[in-house]
Chain A
Amino acid sequence: MTMFRNKWTYLGLVIIILFILCAILAPWIAPEDPYKINLVQELAPPGEGHIMGRDINGSDILSRLIYGARISITIGLVVVLISSFVGILLGLISGYYGGWIDLLLMRLVDILLAFPGLLLAIALVAVLGPSITNVVIALTALGWVSFARLVRGQVISVKEREYVLAAKTSGQSDIRVMVLHILPNIVSTVIVQATFNIAGVIISESSLSFLGLGAPPGTPSWGAMLSEGKQVILDAPHVSFFPGLAILLVVLAFNFVGDGLRDKFDPKTGRE
């Protein structure tokens, strides 16, 4: 008996575990201090002592990538945790009570979903000023929307089922019905959505950092590293290559796992 049907899911899981281990163990496994400046070896190509080469400051790219995992995973998890919490809460209220509050919330959701997320994120960061905290604020402010919409739809389909009616008629409070009877039935869909959202947030954070709107210059964020690499792409293409590869692998991994979870929780939908 295997847990997942698709072998890609396992590959994704392995990559995610490695990625999280890198983030946690960064100080112990990174060969060098990621901020160490070593101008003698500036832009050294991959070779002995630095298998991924060195960047503009002569810092070891592998070490910076390992520390960069911390930024990506922290932002990914923080944004998705807060936005899923807010989204679940608002989605539950909206779907359960309906009426004007539902109307109001869903119009707001419609407006936010109508525009491409990255554009709104750029607009928000432009107003708040570029920094990692503001990236988290901007991505959270946009992230709850997809959860709210998803949860609301699920609540509406679940709330007329017999067991929910039974719970209501037995006199349980609204909060008890929502948390104990409705929520457990929709939590799997939320987990699938959250997995895909982590990938989305990681891409968005890298994009904003690449544009100079996220992590300040010099921070080992993968997006910022790519942006530094762009400036020296003629002399040292390796500076651009590895951070991009890391982003691609992690994003693919979360997508694979998301697919696997979706197949597992809901065998009917499968691949589109």
Chain B
Amino acid sequence: MLGDYALPGDKQELRENLGLDRPILVQYGDYLTGIVQGDLGISIHSKRAVTEEIWERIPASAELMMGAMVVALLIAFPFGILSALKPYGILDSTSMLVSFLGVAMPNFWLGPLLIILFSIQLDWLPINERGGLEHLILPSITLGTAMAAMLSRMIRSSLLEVLGEDYVLNARAKGLPERQVILKHALRNALIPVITVIGLQIGVLLSGAIITEAIFDWPGMGSLLLDGIYNRNYPLVQGCILTIASIYVIVNLITDITYAWVDPRVRLS
């Protein structure tokens, strides 16, 4: 921070300013006390509060996550349901192959490929940075594809299992239209395991977002974390990781609660 030729006095002053001259346990104690009070320390380079810097980035990160989620659900549900209705048919085999590719495809390659196709060759969509909805499309697809692939297989197998149950047979025997049997009776029950997977996948989205943000120069928490790592801005790095991890824990908690809400059997037991 001071360069290689800093004077000893300046070094000493900086150490005192950053609190590095105190015993390590005291520093740690202060840090923990700070966290409890919602203070993540001061970002070394900008001299601003870490919480403030993170807070600014949250809207962009949230936007990207929501976009990816929408993409994943929009792809996964139609494909999952249609595959389950005709297992081993053409659509099912195709979606299986595509989802195999979707899982194996690293998103730091999918992103550039989408840019090459839609921004350079076809010139339909903008490349970088945040802006209107058209800026959100490519990053969302990049981040959401792996989740869509996994989720559509999950919906398929879960729905297939439920379709063999007696209450589905009963619904059909009552003469309900097939559409209603699938959407109302079968899909609702099939959703239970799917919700868990969505919750768990959010963790994958959180770490995938770091890469996606790097590809598209997206000003979210992931790029903030990377900047912090490159500049050895440790308070910032700690703050970002702590925030991302907390979001993950909270999302898992919400998933568990939703789970009980969707499935009364869990609530009763």
Which A residues have a C-beta under 8 Å from some C-beta of B? 114-119, 122-123, 125-126, 130, 199, 203, 206-207, 210-213, 223, 226-227, 229-230, 233-234, 237, 240-241, 243-245, 247-248, 251-252, 255, 272
Q: Are B109 and A247 in contact (CB under 8 A)?
A: yes
Residues on B with beta carbons closer than 8 Å to the beta carbon of A123:
237, 241
Binds A, one of B23-31, B37-45, B111-119: B111-119
Q: Mark B234-249, 1 if CB is under 8 A from A, else 0.
A: 0001000100110010
Q: Mark B193-229, 1 if CB is under 8 A from A, else 0.
A: 0000000000110111011001100000000011011
Residues on A with beta carbons closer than 8 Å to the beta carbon of B100:
252, 255
Q: A115-B245, A118-B207, A210-B214 are in contact. Are A240 and B104 (CB under 8 A)?
A: no
CB distance from B26 to the nearest CB of A (A): 21
Q: Are A210 and B229 in contact (CB under 8 A)?
A: no
B contacts with A, residue count (CB < 8 A): 35
Closest B residue to A253 by CB, please name it. Answer: B104
Closest B residue to A125 by CB, please name it. Answer: B229
Closest B residue to A244 by CB, please name it. Answer: B109
What's the Cα separation between A248 and B127 when bound, in Å? 23
Q: A123-B241, A126-B237 are in contact. Are A116 and B104 (CB under 8 A)?
A: no
Q: A119-B244, A210-B211, A248-B104 are in contact. Are A272 and B157 (CB under 8 A)?
A: yes
Q: A115-B203, A206-B108, A226-B108 are in contact. Are A244 and B113 (CB under 8 A)?
A: yes
CB distance from A207 to the nearest CB of B (A): 6
Q: Are B226 and A207 in contact (CB under 8 A)?
A: no
Q: A126-B241, A207-B211 are in contact. Are A119 and B206 (CB under 8 A)?
A: yes
Q: A118-B207, A130-B229, A210-B211 are in contact. Are A233 and B108 (CB under 8 A)?
A: no
What's the Cα separation between A233 and B120 when bound, in Å? 9
Q: Are B225 and A122 in contact (CB under 8 A)?
A: yes
Residues on A with beta carbons closer than 8 Å to the beta carbon of B115:
233
Q: Flag whether B106 is at the interface (Cβ < 8 A).
A: yes
Q: Are B225 and A248 in contact (CB under 8 A)?
A: no
What's the Cα separation between A240 and B106 when bound, in Å? 12
Q: Are B112 and A244 in contact (CB under 8 A)?
A: yes
Q: Flag whether B32 is at the interface (Cβ < 8 A).
A: no
CB distance from B111 to the nearest CB of A (A): 8
Q: A210-B211, A210-B214, A240-B116 are in contact. Are A119 and B245 (CB under 8 A)?
A: yes
What's the Cα separation between A248 and B157 when bound, in Å? 26
Q: Flag whether B105 is at the interface (Cβ < 8 A).
A: yes
**Set B113, B153, B241: member contacting A119, Cβ < 8 A:** B241
Q: Are A248 and B109 in contact (CB under 8 A)?
A: yes
Residues 101-137 of B contacting A (Cβ, < 8 Å): 101, 104-106, 108-109, 112-113, 115-116, 120, 127
Write 5 A-B pairs (CB below 8 A) sorted by A numbering: A119-B210, A123-B241, A227-B108, A237-B116, A272-B157
What's the Cα separation between A126 and B115 when bound, in Å? 29
CB distance from B197 to the nearest CB of A (A): 12
Residues on A with beta carbons closer than 8 Å to the beta carbon of B225:
122, 126
Residues on B with beta carbons closer than 8 Å to the beta carbon of A234:
120, 127
Closest B residue to A226 by CB, please name it. Answer: B108
What's the Cα separation between A255 and B153 when bound, in Å? 17
Q: Are B248 and A116 in contact (CB under 8 A)?
A: yes
